Amino acid sequence: MSDTSLPEPFADLEPLAAVWALATETERNRQRLGSTMAQIQACYDTLLPRMEAVLTYLSTFPPEPPDALPQETRRLLYLALALAEITTAVELHQQPSVPAGFDPQRFIPDHERTRP
Protein backbone atom coordinates (compact mmCIF):
# COMPACT_ATOMS: atom_id res chain seq x y z
CA MET A 1 0.00 0.00 0.00
CA SER A 2 3.02 2.28 0.01
CA ASP A 3 2.00 3.87 -3.28
CA THR A 4 -1.28 4.97 -1.74
CA SER A 5 0.18 6.97 1.10
CA LEU A 6 1.44 10.52 1.42
CA PRO A 7 4.30 11.74 3.60
CA GLU A 8 3.18 11.60 7.22
CA PRO A 9 2.59 15.36 7.77
CA PHE A 10 0.11 15.32 4.88
CA ALA A 11 -1.75 12.10 5.72
CA ASP A 12 -5.00 14.06 6.13
CA LEU A 13 -4.93 14.85 2.39
CA GLU A 14 -5.25 11.17 1.56
CA PRO A 15 -8.88 11.32 0.33
CA LEU A 16 -7.92 14.04 -2.16
CA ALA A 17 -4.82 12.18 -3.29
CA ALA A 18 -6.93 9.10 -4.02
CA VAL A 19 -8.73 11.14 -6.69
CA TRP A 20 -6.24 13.77 -7.84
CA ALA A 21 -2.69 12.40 -7.42
CA LEU A 22 -2.34 11.46 -11.08
CA ALA A 23 0.95 11.13 -12.89
CA THR A 24 0.39 13.14 -16.07
CA GLU A 25 -1.06 16.45 -17.15
CA THR A 26 -3.45 14.64 -19.48
CA GLU A 27 -4.83 12.53 -16.61
CA ARG A 28 -5.11 15.51 -14.28
CA ASN A 29 -6.80 17.60 -16.96
CA ARG A 30 -9.22 14.77 -17.71
CA GLN A 31 -10.02 14.48 -14.00
CA ARG A 32 -10.66 18.23 -13.88
CA LEU A 33 -12.93 18.18 -16.90
CA GLY A 34 -14.83 15.18 -15.53
CA SER A 35 -15.41 16.79 -12.13
CA THR A 36 -18.13 19.14 -10.99
CA MET A 37 -17.16 22.66 -10.01
CA ALA A 38 -18.11 21.76 -6.43
CA GLN A 39 -15.59 18.90 -6.44
CA ILE A 40 -12.90 21.12 -7.92
CA GLN A 41 -13.63 23.90 -5.46
CA ALA A 42 -13.48 21.44 -2.56
CA CYS A 43 -10.09 20.19 -3.71
CA TYR A 44 -8.82 23.76 -4.09
CA ASP A 45 -10.21 24.90 -0.73
CA THR A 46 -8.66 21.95 1.09
CA LEU A 47 -5.28 22.03 -0.60
CA LEU A 48 -4.60 25.74 -0.80
CA PRO A 49 -4.20 26.34 2.97
CA ARG A 50 -1.75 23.39 3.09
CA MET A 51 0.14 24.41 0.00
CA GLU A 52 2.82 26.49 1.65
CA ALA A 53 3.74 23.50 3.80
CA VAL A 54 3.55 21.17 0.80
CA LEU A 55 5.84 23.36 -1.27
CA THR A 56 8.25 23.85 1.61
CA TYR A 57 8.42 20.07 1.92
CA LEU A 58 8.87 19.59 -1.83
CA SER A 59 11.61 22.24 -1.84
CA THR A 60 13.91 19.72 -0.21
CA PHE A 61 13.63 17.27 -3.11
CA PRO A 62 15.09 17.37 -6.62
CA PRO A 63 12.66 18.24 -9.40
CA GLU A 64 12.82 15.24 -11.65
CA PRO A 65 12.51 12.67 -12.82
CA PRO A 66 9.55 11.95 -10.55
CA ASP A 67 10.60 8.30 -10.59
CA ALA A 68 13.66 9.26 -8.57
CA LEU A 69 11.53 10.60 -5.71
CA PRO A 70 10.41 8.46 -2.77
CA GLN A 71 6.95 7.10 -3.54
CA GLU A 72 5.17 9.18 -0.89
CA THR A 73 6.87 12.34 -2.03
CA ARG A 74 6.06 11.59 -5.64
CA ARG A 75 2.41 11.18 -4.72
CA LEU A 76 2.47 14.51 -2.89
CA LEU A 77 4.06 16.12 -5.94
CA TYR A 78 1.31 14.74 -8.19
CA LEU A 79 -1.30 16.13 -5.82
CA ALA A 80 0.38 19.54 -5.85
CA LEU A 81 0.52 19.43 -9.66
CA ALA A 82 -3.22 18.72 -9.63
CA LEU A 83 -3.77 21.95 -7.70
CA ALA A 84 -1.78 23.75 -10.40
CA GLU A 85 -4.09 22.12 -12.94
CA ILE A 86 -7.38 23.11 -11.30
CA THR A 87 -6.34 26.61 -10.23
CA THR A 88 -7.35 28.19 -13.53
CA ALA A 89 -10.77 26.56 -13.26
CA VAL A 90 -11.28 28.24 -9.87
CA GLU A 91 -9.42 31.51 -10.24
CA LEU A 92 -10.00 32.30 -13.92
CA HIS A 93 -12.91 30.44 -15.43
CA GLN A 94 -15.23 29.65 -12.49
CA GLN A 95 -16.06 26.42 -14.32
CA PRO A 96 -14.14 23.19 -15.00
CA SER A 97 -13.30 23.89 -18.66
CA VAL A 98 -12.10 26.95 -20.52
CA PRO A 99 -15.36 28.72 -21.49
CA ALA A 100 -16.04 27.99 -25.17
CA GLY A 101 -12.40 26.95 -25.40
CA PHE A 102 -10.65 24.87 -28.00
CA ASP A 103 -10.97 21.13 -27.42
CA PRO A 104 -8.10 20.14 -25.05
CA GLN A 105 -8.04 16.68 -26.61
CA ARG A 106 -6.96 18.30 -29.85
CA PHE A 107 -4.30 20.42 -28.12
CA ILE A 108 -1.65 17.75 -27.89
CA PRO A 109 0.95 18.04 -25.12
CA ASP A 110 4.12 16.99 -26.95
CA HIS A 111 6.08 17.37 -23.72
CA GLU A 112 4.37 14.30 -22.28
CA ARG A 113 5.97 12.13 -24.91
CA THR A 114 9.54 13.31 -24.47
CA ARG A 115 9.73 15.41 -21.34
CA PRO A 116 8.38 15.66 -17.79
Partner 1 sequence: MQDRADSHANGKRWTLDHPELGTGPLPVTPYLSTEYFEQEREKIFTRTWLCTGKKGEEIPRPGDSLVLDIAVGKTSLLLVRGKDGRVRGFHNVCKHRGNRLAWNDHGACGSGLTCRFHGWTYASDGRLIGVPEEDMFFDFDKRDYGLSPIAADVWEGFIFINLDPDPPETLHQYLGEVVDLLRGYAFDRLPLSWSYTAEQKCNWRILRDSQLEFYHGKALHQQFAGKVMINKQQPSCHVLDAKLFRRHSMMSFYGDRRNTQRTPMERLMAQFGASLKTFPGVREMDRWPLGVNPTRSKQWFFDIYYIFPNFHLVILSPFLFVAHTMLPETVNRSTWNARGYFPQPATAAESVTREYNKCLARDVWLEDGSTLENTQRGIESGVLSQYPVQDQELLIRHAHKVAEELLASDAQAG
Residue choice 10, 69, 75, 96 for contact with partner 1 (CB under 8 A): 69
Interface with partner 1 includes 81 (CB under 8 A)? yes
Q: 7 near 73, Cβ under 8 Å?
A: yes
CB of 108 to partner 1, least distance (A): 5
CB of 115 to partner 1, least distance (A): 7
User: Would you give the binding string for partner 1 spanning residues 90-109, x where CB under 8 A is met?
Assistant: -xxx----x-xxx-x-xxxx
> Residue 77: which of 18, 22, 16, 9 has the closest Cα?
22
What CA–CA distance (Å, rounded) separates 55 from 77?
A: 9
Instruction: Report DSSP state, residue 60.
Output: T
Stretches 4-12, 14-22, 34-42, 89-97: which one binds partner 1 (CB under 8 A)?
89-97
Q: 103 near 30, Cβ under 8 Å?
A: no
End-to-end alpha-carbon separation of the chain, Å?
Answer: 25
Binding residues (CB under 8 A) for partner 1: these are 25, 48, 51-52, 55-56, 58-64, 69, 73, 77, 80-81, 83-85, 87-88, 91-93, 98, 100-102, 104, 106-111, 115-116
